[in-house]
Structure 1
C-alpha cells in the first residue's frame, strides 16, 4: 500500500526543506574546518536561539497530531484535551519516576528511544517498503550515536556520566565505552552497506544515493564538531526543522511546490505552538534559575537539559511513531 502523503512527508517537502538542512549542516562543518577557533563563538548563539525557536518549539504542537491523523478520536474537544493532557503528562511523569528509580536503565532508554525517534521521523517520503523504513530508521538513529561514541569517546562518556551523576548512579568506564563503540560502529557500517545493496537490487537507486549523501553529511558533522555542538546542529536544523515543516502540512498549511519560505513556515508554526512553548520556556527558565542560584557547574546545565528532554521524548516520540507515521506500519 502506498503511504498517505497527508500523514507522511508531502512530495514537495522531500527536496527543498531537506536541502535547507543540508546547507545548515555543511555550513557548520565548513566553519569548523576553516575557523576552528572562531566556530564555537559563532555557533553557540545560533544554537541557543535555534534551540528555543526550533528545538523546544518543535514538540509544542503535539496536541494537533491526533486530530489530524485520527479525527474519529476527537469527537469531544473537552474529552480529547483531558485525555491528551492526562496521557502526555502521565507518560512524562513515568519517565521522571524512572529517573528516580532506575537511573542507569533510564539513560539507556532515553538514548535508545531518541535514536529511534530521530531515525524514523527523519526518513524520506520515498519509503514504500515498510522493512526498508524500519531498517533505515534503526540505522540512521544508531549512526547519530555511533560516530560520537567511536570518534569522541571521552567527550561522549562525559555527557553520559554527567547524566548518571546527576541521577545518583555510578559512572561508566572508558573500557565500557570503547567496547560499545566497536560493536555499534561495526553494526552501523555493515548495516548501511546491506541496506544500500538492497536499494540498488530493487531499483531504488535514487533512494540509495540520497541516503548515501545524507550519511556522508551527517558523518562529517559528527566527526568535525564535538558531540554537544554536532548534536545541537543536527537536532535544531535537521530533525526539528523537518518536523516543523511536516507538522505545518498536517495542520493545514498549503503546500507550494515552487518555493519554500522558511520565515513564513516558521511563523505559521510558532503561532500555533505559542501556548505550550510559553509554558515550556517558563518552566525551563525557573529550573535553570534554581541551578544558577546554586552556582551549578556548566556540566549540570547540560545534564538538566537532557533530563528535561528525556521526560517529554517518550510521549512526543509515541505521537510521531503511532500518529504521524501510522501509514508506514500498514
Structure 2
C-alpha cells in the first residue's frame, strides 16, 4: 500500500466528509426546534445509503488482512458478531435498561476505536502509546454517545424510553431509565468527557513539543472540536444519524477499501467510482440480509404489555 493510496483514501473518506459535517453545522443548530421525525428520517436515510453496508464485508477482513482461509475468516467474524448480537438480544429480554446502557458502551468503544484507526491511517504520530490511543478512543467514541446526553437530555430520554419500551410497559420503561438521566450521572459524564478531552489534547501537545508532527495533532484537535460543536448543537437523533453515515461509516469503508487489492488499485488510479463499485459488489449480499434481519426483528420484538382496561394512555388525557 503506497502513501498515495493512503492519502487518497484519507482525503475521500475522512477529510472531505469532515468538511461536509462542518458545513452542516448551521443545519444541525436548527434541528432541536424541528420535530424528532426529521431526525428519524435523516437517520433512516443514512442507514439506507451507507450505514447498513459499511460493515457488510467485515467477514472478509481476516482473509484480506491476515491471509487466513475464507472459512476461518467467515467463522471468526461471524462468531464474534453472533456472540455480541446474542448478548444484546438476551440482555434486552432480561434487563432492557441495563442492556441499553451496555449497547451505548459497546457503540462508544466501537466508534472510538474506528476514529483512532483512521488517525493511524492518516499517519499521525502524537498517539504512540497505548494509553494515549485509549484516551483518544474514549473521547472520540464518547462524543456521539455522551455529549447528546448532556446537551439534549429530553430527546435522548425519548430514544431510551422508546427502546426500553419495546420490552416493558411504558410506565415501567420510564422508571427503568430514570437513573441514566439523574443529575449525578450527567455531571459525572460531563466530567469524564471534558477531562478526557483536555487530557488527550494536552498529551498530544506535549508530544508535539517533543518533536511529533504538529499537523496531525492539529487535525485531531480540530476534529474533536468539530464533533463537540456538532453534538452540542444538533438534536441527538439527527446528529447521530448524520454522523453514522457521513463520518463513522465512510471512514470504515475507506479502511476496508485499503484491504482489497482491486479496490486499492482503483484508488491508486484515482478511480473513486471503481473503488466504491468494488465495495458495493462485495457488500450487497449481507447488506440485503441485514435489512431482512432488521425487518424480522422489528416484527418479532414485543411491544410491552397492553394497558389495563380503562387506563388512559399518555397523550390521551384531557388538557
Tell me the TM-score normalized by structure 1: 0.74
Match of 2:20 in 1: 24
Distance 2:288 2:222 in 1: 37
| Residue equivalent to 2:101 | 108
Is the contact made by 2:36 and 2:237 (CA closer than 8 Å) also made in structure 1? no
In 1, the alpha carbon distance for the partners of 2:293 and 2:6 equals 34
For the residues of structure 2 that align with 1:10 and 1:151, how far apart are their CA atoms?
A: 36
Aligned equivalent of 1:240? 249
Distance 2:250 2:289 in 1: 21
Superposition RMSD in Å: 3.3
Question: Structure 2-normalised TM-score?
Answer: 0.76
Alignment partner, residue 313 of structure 2: none
Secondary structure at the residue paired with 1:172? helix
Q: Matched residue of 2:264: which SS?
A: coil
Query: Does structure 2 retain, via aligned residues, the 8 Å contact 1:146–1:184?
Result: yes
SS in 1 for 2:128: coil
Runs of 4+ with deviation above 6 angstroms: 34-44
Unaligned runs of at least 5 residues, structure 2: 302-319
Distance 1:128 1:160 in 2: 37
> Could you tell which deviates more after superposition, 30-39 or 96-105?
30-39
Given that residues 60 and 274 in structure 1 are in contact (C-alpha distance below 8 angstroms), is that contact kept between their aligned partners in structure 2?
A: yes
CA distance in 2, matches of 1:35, 1:278: 31
2:149–2:156 CA contact under 8 A, matched in 1: yes
Q: Tell me, in whole angstroms, the C-alpha distance in 1 between the residues paired with 2:37 and 2:86.
A: 36
* C-alpha distance in structure 2 between counterparts of 1:34 and 1:227, whole Å: 12
Matched residues in 2 for 1:69 and 1:44: separation? Answer: 36
Q: CA 1:44–1:143 in 2, change beyond 3 Å: closer, same or farther?
A: closer
Query: CA shift at 1:82, angstroms?
Result: 4.9
Measured in 1, the distance between the counterparts of 2:154 and 2:33 equals 21
Is 1:250 the equivalent of 2:259? yes
Question: 1:176 deviation in Å?
Answer: 3.8
Task: State the match for 2:202 in structure 1.
Answer: 197
After superposition, the Cα gap between the structure-2 partners of 1:212 and 1:39, relative to the gap in structure 1 and judged at 3 Å, is: farther
Deviation per residue, 1:15-51 (Å, 9 max, x gap): 4432222133123222345798789898766643331
Aligned pairs for 1:167-246 (under 5 A) are 167-168=167-168, 170-173=175-178, 176-203=181-208, 204=212, 205-246=214-255
Deviation per residue, 1:114-173 (Å, 9 max, x gap) = 011101111201243322211100121122223211110111122112222223254322
Match of 1:64 among 57, 60, 66: 60
The structural deviation recorded for 1:101 is 2.1
Task: Indicate how the Cα distance of structure 1 residues 227 and 238 shifts in structure 2: closer, same or farther if over 3 A, else same.
Answer: same
* 2:130 counterpart of 1:121: no
- Once the two structures are TM-superposed, the CA of residue 238 in structure 1 deviates from its matched residue by 0.1
- The match for 2:49 among 44, 50, 53 is 53
8 Å contact kept, 2:29–2:233? yes
- How many residues align? The count is 284
Matches within 5 A, 1:310-321: none
Matched-pair contact (CA < 8 Å) for 1:153–1:177: no
CA distance in structure 1 between the partners assigned to 2:86 and 2:149 by the alignment? 29
Measure, in 1, the Cα distance between the counterparts of 2:206 and 2:290: 47
- Please tell me whether the aligned partners of residues 144 and 222 of structure 1 are also in contact (alpha carbons under 8 angstroms): yes
Say if 1:260 and 1:137 are closer, same or farther in 2 by CA, change over 3 A. Answer: farther
